[in-house]
Structure 1
Amino acid sequence: MATAPKLEHRSLGKGLSVSAIGLGCMSLSGIYGEADDAVSEDLIRHAIDNGVDHLDSSDMYGWGHNEEVLGRALKGRRDKVVLATKFGQIQRPGQSNGVNGRPDYVAQACEASLKRLGIDVIDLYYQHRVDPAVPVEDTIGAMAKLVQQGKVRFLGMSEAAPDRIRRAHQVHPIAAVQTEYSLLYREEAEATRKLTTELGIGFVAYAPLGRGFLAGAIKSFSDIDGRRSAHPRFQQQNFDQNRALVVKIEAIAREKSCTPAQVTLAWLLAQGQDVVAIPGTRHAARFDENLGAVHVKLSAEETARISAAIPAGAAAGTRYPTGGMAGVFI
């Protein structure tokens, strides 16, 4: 097997180094259309062979399916990756997802993920969604025990607001915070980064392409199907305003002789050395396109121009439907 190319790496907290662009694995479990497990496993191996060593999963992606796919793909390659997964969302048949941050559930969820992944230790273990009914100190305390037991190496939080992150970090060092962050949705992420930068916590940007909007492939309202149709940003009353923002990025991409996705990801990485991105895809060609962003260099002036083209707060529609918004940035 050829040696994987060496990509730029960045630190998440103290002691954890990952490729600046990783692979978000959610779409490999049918979230944005049917996925073929064999193709998904090949994509994961393709990512590793091309120098990507940051793989991000969750126990709620396909309710265990995603971790099983990842586990199969990593046989013989476990030592080549930083493997991140999450816990905290639970199924409630006939209702929206629930959350569970109780200490006993933390241990139970970790054991189940280790088994599905077929591994002995998780590199980066996130609380996927905050449980407001459980003090964060109790949840993080239980996660810290997993570190002491050698089942987890580093801890992370997803969609937690700054005050809760600070409280958690006082219990056990938090290596990474994961929040949606893109040119379309910046305000909450940038508020969070003020704290994570202060505390030396890495920032993992998920949905960095605005769930595909910023990749430029969604050009008309008729292009929207599946899960995206439930998201306000893609709905009729918001579509035209958001599409007009993407057109601005397409123009800049043409000037830079790259794709809209590449200039979008390059802008994100230019925000600071603490930021890494985990764009997701089911397709090797799209993965290759995303990874090409590491070769797009932006000057400080170009970065500022892109920021001004889509100012913070310019997007129409919230980033989740009403029910989902109740569970983020809390």
Structure 2
Amino acid sequence: MSTIKKIQLGQNGPLVSKLGLGCMRMSSIWGGSAPDEKESITTINEALDHGINFLNTGDFYGAGHNEMLIGKAIKGRRDDAFISVKFGAIFHNGQWLGMDLRPIAIKNFINYSLTRLGIETIDLYQASRMDGSVPVEDIIGTVADLITEGKVRHLGVSEINADQLRKANSIYPISALEIGYSLADRQIEQELLPTAKELGINVIAFANTAEGLLSGDLKAPLAENDYRNHFSRFQGNNLVRNLEKVEILKQLAKNKGCSPTQLAIAWVKAQGDDIMPLVSMSRRSRLPENIAAMNIEFTPEEMKILNTTFATGAIQGGTYLQR
């Protein structure tokens, strides 16, 4: 059963689903127990059954657990899945230590990823961030070598700026840019998004609900142990004012007979055929709602309301997306 539209990745790349499945939440990232593995595997397989073939992971998600999980899920149906892997981030005991983007490290990372996934080639391989510690030429050149070796099919980048994107693409054609993008986080519209469009690079947009801000479920203040308390967007009066804007999203969703989360995903989808909403799920029960969001259309007036209410800078306070 295929219900999801396909888009071409890059200028001459393969067809992938317009909706991507983010697998991060199927593993423990910041410590604690992982979700039910059987349910996660079932979720991946049902996503594939519906034509969602873009599976996104990172070799550091759950210290390799996420890749092993995906490997189990796609066993016997490798051709149904397009595997996107990020590398470079170093975690220890649930704590982020930094980046390792040295060529020797990348050549080490790729072999572990291939083994955990149980595959011979990764479809899209990308540095999870470029922090200036290693020249862009070395990072891109190393992945290009992996493509020549047959270990990688397409090169991607993640969480970089417009100048870095342009430089990376001049070294080797970039197929996709993974970046946070939502009604609440529109800063990439100024330089990065136009650059990607100019270069023919697809955008894989994560954090469509802005860490749950646009879900319509949040209330101020957050619980003391909520990780989002670290971000100024979710603190004090900032959160109160931001949730006032979310009320407009909730009303529009009510009028259209859908959820605020669906509207947030649909807005990202509507920004262009070259933009893919990447939605994290760990339960199959989330699939019908998120798939249905891809069929939501906006009238010009509805789009005007959303773009005015959530204009760039309208949401007060920042998150890790603002660096």
Q: TM-score range by the shorter chain?
A: over 0.9
2-structure distance, mates of 1:111, 1:151: 9
Corresponding residue for residue 143 of structure 2: 143
- Determine whether 1:128 maps to 2:128: yes
Cα pair distance change 1:128/1:284, threshold 3 Å: same
Is the Cα contact below 8 Å between 1:12 and 1:203 reproduced in 2? no
Secondary structure in structure 1 of the residue aligned to 2:318: coil
Q: Percent identity?
A: 38
CA distance in 2, matches of 1:26, 1:280: 7
1:131 CA displacement: 3.4
Whether the 8 Å contact between 1:101 and 1:134 is mirrored in structure 2 is: yes
Q: Report the CA distance shift for 1:232/1:69 in structure 2 as closer, same or farther (over 3 A).
A: farther
Could you tell me how far 1:223 is from its partner in structure 2?
Answer: 5.7
Instruction: Tell me the residue number matched to 1:192.
Output: 192
Q: Give 1:1-330 correspondences, 5 Å limit.
A: 4-13=1-10, 14-31=12-29, 34=33, 35-91=35-91, 96-188=96-188, 190-222=190-222, 225-320=225-320, 326=323
- SS of 2:219 mapped into structure 1: coil
Please list the CA deviations of residues 71-96 of structure 1 after superposition, one character each: whole Å capped at 9, or x if unmatched: 11111121111110110111366964
Q: For residues 135-154 of structure 1, what are the alpha-carbon distances to aligned partners after superposition, in whole Å with 9 as ceiling and x for unaligned? A: 10111000001110111111
Q: Summarize deviations over 1:141-178 as a string: whole Å, max 9, x none.
A: 00001110111111111111010111110111000001
Paired amino acid for 2:184: L
Distance 2:160 2:232 in 1: 21
Amino acid at match of 1:169: N
Q: Specify the SS of the correspondent of 2:168.
A: helix
Residue type matched to 2:212 in 1? Answer: G
Mapped to 2, the partners of 1:176 and 1:316 lie a distance apart of 29
Farther-moved stretch of structure 1 (199-208 vs 303-312): 303-312
How far apart in 2 are the matches of 1:208 and 1:153? 27
TM-score norm. by structure 2 comes to: 0.93
- Deviation, structure 1 residue 300: 3.6
Distance (whole Å) between structure 1 residues aligned to residue 301 and residue 21 of structure 2: 29
| TM-aligned CA distance change 1:213 to 1:281, over 3 Å | farther
Q: Could you tell me how far apart the structure 1 residues matched to 2:129 and 2:237 are?
A: 29
Question: Contact 1:87–1:106 (CA<8 Å) still a contact in 2?
Answer: yes
Whole-angstrom CA distance in 2 between matches of 1:244 and 1:209: 15
| Pairwise CA distance, 1:221 | 2.5
Moved more, 272-281 or 301-310: 301-310
Question: Hey, what's the Cα distance between the residues in 2 that align with 1:289 and 1:83?
Answer: 23
Task: Name the aligned partner's letter for residue 214 of structure 2.
Answer: L
User: Unpaired segments of 5 or more residues in structure 1?
Assistant: none
CA RMSD of aligned residues (A): 2.0
1:230 Cα offset (Å): 3.0
Q: CA deviation at 1:183?
A: 0.5
Normalized against structure 1, the TM-score is what? 0.91
Which one is further off, 148-157 or 17-26?
A: 17-26
Q: Structure 1 pair 220/237, CA: closer, same or farther in 2 (3 Å)?
A: closer
CA distance in 1, matches of 2:38, 2:95: 31
